[in-house]
Amino acid sequence: MTVTRKRINSRPAAVLIGFMGAGKSTVGRLVAELLGVDFVDADEQIVHAEGRSIPEIFTADGVEAFRDIERRVVLDLLTRGGVVSLGGGAVMTPAVADALAGHRVVYLSIDPAEGFARAKGGDRPLLAGDDAETRYRELLDERHDTYAELATVTVDAGAGSADEIADLVVSALADHLIPERNLL
């Protein structure tokens, strides 16, 4: 029994990826509640570990330093259980993308208009300043293929309320798990 428990706890039930505003942090928490497991948001872990906000880290140390911290935090979270939501740019770090192999990766996709409407006005340093919507669209274009390639399942995060998207995620994970179960 001990061996079984250790195996189950050695990776997350699901890892949520996708662009800013898709709802990873919000929906990830709801998915964890539905599954009855812990929830961890990578950005919250970074803030906790650093004792600084994300904008403070970007301003003081720059984006590369943020990515270094993020890589360390995410690689650690991938060795634990629960549902894990990543920040939108984490998968652009090659070591993070590589480490996602073999995990249940849920891509919350979002169209740019809806995603920007959700993300604007928050504390995301990459969307600070003028012309945030253009930057949002350009970055989403740059990243979309990476999200899609890494995904085990993709869920349209614009298709309903956060609770409805969480239900869709759990259904998509269940569909994905049925073939896994048949292999046992």
Ligand X SMILES: Nc1ncnc2c1ncn2[C@@H]1O[C@H](COP(=O)(O)OP(=O)(O)O)[C@@H](O)[C@H]1O
Ligand Y SMILES: O=C(O)C1=C[C@@H](OP(=O)(O)O)[C@@H](O)[C@H](O)C1
Could you tell me which residues come within 8 angstroms of residue 49 by beta carbon, excluding any fewer than 6 positions away? 69, 73
**CB 14 within 8 Å of CB 153:** no
Distance CA 158, CA 79 (A): 30
Check residue 154 for interaction with Mg ion (CB under 5 A).
no
Check residue 45 for interaction with Mg ion (CB under 5 A).
no
Could you tell me which residues come within 8 angstroms of residue 158 by beta carbon, excluding any fewer than 6 positions away? 109, 110, 111, 114, 115
Using the contact rule CB under 6 A, the part of the chain among 16-24, 56-64, 89-97, 140-148 near ligand X is: 16-24
**Distance of closest approach, residue 11 Cβ to ligand Y, in angstroms:** 21
Cβ count within 10 A of residue 108: 28
Within 99-118, which residues bind ligand X (CB under 6 A)? 118
**CB 50 within 8 Å of CB 61:** no
Check residue 53 for interaction with Mg ion (CB under 5 A).
no
Report which of 157, 118, 113 is spatially closest to residue 137, judged by C-alpha positions: 113
Q: Annotation-wise, does 143 bind a ligand?
A: yes
The residues that touch ligand Y, with contacts defined as CB under 6 A, are: 20, 24-25, 43, 54, 87-89, 124-126
- What track of x and - describes contact with ligand X for positions 158 through 177 (by CB under 6 A)? ---xx--x------------
Check residue 91 for interaction with ligand X (CB under 6 A).
no
**Distance of closest approach, residue 85 Cβ to ligand Y, in angstroms:** 7
Which of 5/72 has CB closer to Mg ion?
72
Q: Quote the Cα angle for 74-90-127, to 5°.
A: 135
Q: Annotation-wise, does 87 bind a ligand?
A: no
Detail the residues annotated as belonging to a binding site for Mg(2+).
Answer: 25
Residues lying near ligand X in the complex (CB under 6 A) are found at 18, 20-27, 118-119, 157, 161-162, 165
